[in-house]
Amino acid sequence: MKRILVLGLLVFSGSLFAGMDGFHIDGRAYGFYPSGELFRHVFDKWQVGYQVEAGQIFLKNYEVWANMDWLATDGRTMKFHLKTRFRTFNLSFGAKNIFRVHKRIKLYLGLGINRANVHFDFPFPEHTVRAHTTGIGGVAKLGIYLEPVNHLFFDFFVDYLYQKINLDGDIQVGGIKSGGGIGFCF
């Protein structure tokens, strides 16, 4: 239910800005490389995640953005080699500095705050433990917008997510996200 409310809030806020110049929305896919060693041992070193990002230009070279992110992966416990599941839904927002390189090419650097909702399923020989936790972290963004025609753009990016959660001690579930997307600007 919370996810539906958040999605509705983002769509509503996007509709408020849609009449303004400089609003954009894009769908993105990325490869995720976790920075935590424990995470890399239990799960594969690379996973695939999906995002929806919306942004609005303010001033001349700055953009505020909001992002929803979903990542799901399975792994194996180290001791018993039993299937373990990891799911995370992230909400982040922040600002980017935009650098116009060419009429249709823009580079950007950004910083933001991230809120992660994390679900783990840990199997044991006699039962499965399900854990749910949340955490606040930060994200740094670097990317390029390519606009081959008016109102259509491609977004290529590298993000670093610093995201610790507390699950019987601090666990780093952040890492590097690298990928691309396609979007529309209004």
Residue 32 near residue 174, CB atoms below 8 Å: no
Give CA–CA dist 14/11, Å, rounded: 5
pLDDT of residue 124: 66
Residue 84 near residue 106, CB atoms below 8 Å: no
Q: What is the CATH number of the domain that holds 60?
A: 2.40.160.20
Q: Which domain holds residue 153?
A: 2-185
Global model pTM greater than 0.95: no
In total, how many domains does the chain have?
A: 1
Helix and strand numbers, DSSP H then E, in the chain: 2, 10
pLDDT of residue 95: 97
At CB < 8 A and 24+ separation, what contacts does 46-53 make?
Answer: 47/71, 47/73, 49/177, 51/27, 51/181, 52/10, 52/25, 52/26, 52/27, 52/28, 53/25, 53/26, 53/28, 53/155, 53/181, 53/183
3-state class (DSSP) for residue 157: strand
What is the residue-level pLDDT of the chain in tens, covering all 186 positions?
455 445 545 544 544 444 446 899 999 999 999 887 767 666 767 889 999 999 999 888 999 999 999 988 877 666 666 677 888 899 999 999 999 999 999 999 999 999 999 887 776 666 667 788 899 999 999 999 999 999 999 999 999 999 988 777 777 888 999 999 999 998
